[in-house]
A and B are shown apart, each in its own frame.
Chain A
Amino acid sequence: MNIFNLIREIEKVDPEVYERLDSRRAIFKHFAGFGKKLTAAAVPLAFGSMLNKAYGQTSTGRSVTQVLEFAYLLENLEAEFYKQAVTAASSVGAPAIAVSALTTIRDHEIAHVNFLKSALGTSAPMYTAASFDYSAKGNLTDTFTNYGTMLAVAQAFEDTGVRAYKGQAGYLVSNNEVLEAALKIHSVEARHAAHIRRMRRDAATGAVPTNKPWITGKDLGGLPALVQPVYNGEEATTQANVNIAGMMSGGVTISAAAASEAFDEPLTTEEVTAIVTPFLA
């Protein structure tokens, strides 16, 4: 494989390939360095990741249908989870008010599934309970037999959902109706997330008293380390080049914690996919 020839081929269709990868001179230096450090077999891999970096982020993005399909998968993951959670809740000690809340959330997730299914039409894939693995490949042994674990998984799903919709919104601008529907679902997921987080804060047993309805830094809130990627990036305290932490107004100084809580961060398609993959059967 001659990388330089390949780049020249790409240059024919994309004259800016060098700018995307690096400057022209730097790219050759770059590869000269690679040659020394990497075995021949690894070079294509490194090159591939450079191309991904160069084109993955600047591509025109995803089609509306791709976004809907992605959302459909996530909503099915949630809906099937809550169906089982509601059935199991009483037997694992959830109080009546919690069962009621889980039922409300389940019904919303089912409504989201139905909306997306109708939007996708016949191209909607088929999902059932068997499509999902709520043990996350054996990492969670008591998802539906331990109330604390059940709520922990619910929190991870809701916070992921909020961040996932946020990351997809930009791909929907060509279709205002779908964009608005996605935003209207997005804020419902955030309401769910807040409530599940408060349920964990206030639980009679196994409570996480420091858990807040909002996300502080990249705090896991007692969730298994497995789901740390759900929170990575949430610690941001700068928005559009404005540093929020340390801002002062009317005698109030915004702490780094408050600055991170005040803005939820998006996740990319790839990040969300990595988070949910263990939950796919």
Chain B
Amino acid sequence: MSKIINPHENEAGLIKSASSSIHRRSFLKYSGAGIALSAMFLAGCNDNDDDETDYSQDMVNLGSGDVGILNYAFALEQLEAAFYTQVVANKYSGMTDLETAVLTDIRDHEIAHREFFRAAIPASARIKDLTPDFSTVNFMDKTSVLTTAKTFEDLGVAAYNGAGKLFTDTGDGLTYLTLAGKIVSVEARHAAEIRDLISNGTFANSEVIDAMGMDKALMPAQVLAAAGAFIKNQIVATGLPQ
């Protein structure tokens, strides 16, 4: 029951559900734990402990509220980190020293993002490790690798741009907005560099930047529809704003 997220549930609804009998025990269990990012997460616990619904192993529910957005970011960072780890471990033929340095840097940044979210989201609310599906990527082929990288980076930028407004407007929500801001510009730097590696000068072309000089912003469902092709698990985002 705890995993069935009411799509209309907002932050207030979450707090209400956290104090319901189902969640009370796990909420109290963690409330004094001094975890890095405070009670806002705890309110969103989509804990598996007392989950009686029979979900398939492959189903991953992001949850709702601020913690749902953080899980959403965690999912995307997992995908990116896994991708670049494989790229660096299986270099495509003809990878230059510069490309190796750039792709290794990006790998490290994405791992840093992933591990940050892993550390920041309390285990009770955090989604599990996802299983990526890179079967459509030819890691030996530069074009295949860089095209996939471009997809991930542009998507990451659009995802964070669209998620900023979804955090609560006060308290921890503001902290998360700042954190998302710190990450999204690094994703945009990646996107620009990957695009320039494919074709110098395409860092911010009309494919991604509109006539107002603005980047894209996408809602979770749109992002997950694109990212889903690279993830074996089925991501459930019905608790997030549509």
Task: Give the number of chain A interface residues (Cβ < 8 Å).
Answer: 60
As a 0/1 sequence over residues 165 to 183 of chain B, the CB contacts with chain A under 8 angstroms (1 = contact) are 1010110011101110111
User: What is the distance, in angstroms, from B53's C-beta to the closest C-beta of chain A?
Assistant: 31
- Asked if A170 and B189 make an inter-chain contact with CB atoms under 8 angstroms apart, the answer reads no
- Asked if A186 and B212 make an inter-chain contact with CB atoms under 8 angstroms apart, the answer reads no
Q: What residue of chain A has the Cβ atom nearest to residue B108's Cβ? A: A258
As a 0/1 sequence over residues 96 to 137 of chain B, the CB contacts with chain A under 8 angstroms (1 = contact) are 000000100101110111111001100000000000000000
- Asked if A166 and B36 make an inter-chain contact with CB atoms under 8 angstroms apart, the answer reads no
CA distance A177 to B162 in the complex (A): 11
> Is B201 among interface residues, defined by CB-CB distance under 8 A?
yes
- Asked if A261 and B188 make an inter-chain contact with CB atoms under 8 angstroms apart, the answer reads no
Interface size on B, as a range, is 35 or more
> Is A112 among interface residues, defined by CB-CB distance under 8 A?
yes
- Asked if A187 and B108 make an inter-chain contact with CB atoms under 8 angstroms apart, the answer reads no
**Residues in chain A near residue B211, CB distance under 8 A:** 111
- Asked if B186 and A191 make an inter-chain contact with CB atoms under 8 angstroms apart, the answer reads no
Q: What residue of chain A has the Cβ atom nearest to residue B117's Cβ? A: A242
Interface of A is mostly: helix
> Is A39 among interface residues, defined by CB-CB distance under 8 A?
no
- Asked if A242 and B36 make an inter-chain contact with CB atoms under 8 angstroms apart, the answer reads yes
User: What is the distance, in angstroms, from B195's C-beta to the closest C-beta of chain A?
Assistant: 8
Cβ contact of A250, chosen from B36, B111, B161, B204, cutoff 8 A: B111
21 contacts between A and B (CB under 8 A): A110-B213, A166-B178, A184-B215, A186-B188, A188-B209, A190-B188, A191-B203, A194-B190, A194-B192, A213-B192, A214-B109, A214-B186, A214-B190, A239-B116, A241-B36, A249-B111, A258-B109, A261-B108, A263-B186, A264-B186, A266-B182
Residues of A within 8 A of B (CB): 97, 100-101, 104-105, 107-112, 114-115, 162, 165-166, 169-170, 173-174, 176, 179-181, 183-195, 198, 212-214, 239-242, 244, 247, 249-250, 252, 254-255, 258-259, 261-266
